[in-house]
Amino acid sequence: MAQFVSKSTELVKLGVNYAKPVLQVWLQYAKVELTPPTLKDVSAIRSGFSQLIHSARTGRYRDVTVREGIINTLVAIEIYCWFFVGECIGKRHIVGYDV
């Protein structure tokens, strides 16, 4: 039993030593990516939307590489999935509303 306890404490120490840098990197990205937009971000958002509209009007979206197309498709799928999850949370059912 003493061997089991000593081995388990060693495994816990190894797990903590491995998890510390991973969690620090995750926390660093979470502070940047999970914050709501500030007032100074509004101009960048506005210019991004104007570029999107401009590329839709001029047909520039046809010049996208395969890699960029796959990345854009994956981002669109992620947005759709989060929308679906939000809908399920909001209606508190997977299918239909509780009337």
**Domain ranges within the chain, ordered by starting residue:** 1-36, 65-99
The pLDDT value recorded for residue 47 is: 94
Predicted local confidence at residue 1, as pLDDT: 77
Residues in the chain with pLDDT < 50?
A: none
- Looking at residue 2, its amino acid is A
Q: Which pLDDT score, from 0 to 100, does residue 86 have?
A: 87
CB-based contacts of 6-13 (< 8 A; 24+ apart in sequence)? none
Q: What is the pLDDT of residue 99?
A: 65
- pLDDT score, position 24: 93
The pLDDT score that the predictor gives to residue 90 is: 84
Place of tokens 């395969």: 66
Question: How many whole angstroms separate alpha carbon 68 and alpha carbon 48?
Answer: 16
